[in-house]
Amino acid sequence: MFAIAFKQEQYLTYILSDQKTLSRLEIVPERGGIITRWQIQGQNILYLDVERFANPQLSIRGGIPILFPICGNLPDNIYTYKGKQYTLKQHGFARDLPWEVAKQSTDNNSASLTLLLKSNEQTRAVYPFDFQLAFTYQLQENRLRIEQYFTNRSDEVMPFSTGLHPYFYAGDKTQLTFDIPASQYQDQRSQEIYPFAGTFDFNQDEIDVAFKSLTHHSTSLTDNQRRLKIAINYSDLYSTLVFWTVKGKNYVCLEPWSAPRNALNTGEQLNYLEPGSTYQADVEIAVSYF
Q: What is the pLDDT of residue 198?
A: 87
| β partners of residue 115 | 101, 135
Q: What is the pLDDT of residue 120?
A: 98
* Alpha carbons within 13 A on the beta-carbon side of 21: 23
- The reported pTM is 0.97
Q: What is the pLDDT of residue 197?
A: 87
Q: Which domains, ranges and CATH numbers included, belong to the chain?
A: 2-289 (2.70.98.10)
Residue among 93, 164, 99, 156 nearest 127 (CA): 93
Q: How far apart are CA 157 and CA 74, in angstroms?
A: 21
Report residues of the chain scoring pLDDT below 70.
none
Task: Measure Cα distances from 16 to 7, 47, 51, 144, 236 in Å.
Answer: 11, 18, 23, 11, 28
Q: What is the pLDDT of residue 215?
A: 95
Q: What is the pLDDT of residue 66?
A: 98
Q: What is the pLDDT of residue 199?
A: 86
Q: How far apart are CA 221 and CA 46, in angstroms?
A: 13
Per residue in 96-111, pLDDT (tens digit) is 999 999 999 999 999 9
Under 8 Å between Cβ of 27 and 33 = yes
